[in-house]
Amino acid sequence: MKNFSINHRKVQSVDILELNGELDAHTAPQLEDHLKKLIDENQYHIVVNCDDLDYIASAGLGVFMAYIEDIRSLGGDIKLTNMNDKVYNVFDLLGFPALYDILEKEEEAVKQFQQGSNS
């Protein structure tokens, strides 16, 4: 049964992970593998586009919790974008909006990374 997939693409120097489907304890390892791979390749400007993410459980949030410090200490960030209300509500229940950069649109996140690296 395949109810989750990740599409990885690049917009200039920014890595975009598009999440599709349902992120839970069964599918979270796929996201973890992608993040680990980006860190191994020294790619720390990461945008996670949640446009097609239908569902998230705490195991999915746990992946973001485990890697954000490493990525920020290396000068990067994970920016989350395009969440539907249902998914945003789960992040909100745990107070993530104060701890993570959650933006409406992928383009804004890319722009922020570009402005940051030019300054």
Partner 1 sequence: MSTPNYTHRITVQASTEHLSEVRDFVASYATKHGVSSHEVEDIRLAVDEAYTNIIKHAYQYDDSRFVEIVMGSEKDEFWVSLKDNGKSFNPTEYPDPDVEERIKKKERGGVGVYLMKKLMDRIEYHKHDGTNEIRMIKKL
Which residues of the chain form contacts with partner 1 (CB under 8 A)? Answer: 1, 3, 22, 24-26, 55, 57-59, 61-63, 65-70, 86, 90, 93-96, 98-99
Least separation in angstroms between residue 90's CB and partner 1 is 7
Q: Are 14 and 47 in contact (CB under 8 A)?
A: yes
As a whole number of angstroms, the distance between CA 91 and CA 96 comes to 5
Least separation in angstroms between residue 53's CB and partner 1 is 14
Tell me the helices (H) and strands (E) count for the chain, helix number first: 4, 5
Task: Please say which residue, 22 or 108, places its beta carbon nearer to partner 1.
Answer: 22
Task: Please say which residue, 34 or 106, places its beta carbon nearer to partner 1.
Answer: 34
Per the rule left: phi > 0, alpha: psi between -120 and 50, beta: everything else, 42 is: left
Task: Please say which residue, 67 or 113, places its beta carbon nearer to partner 1.
Answer: 67
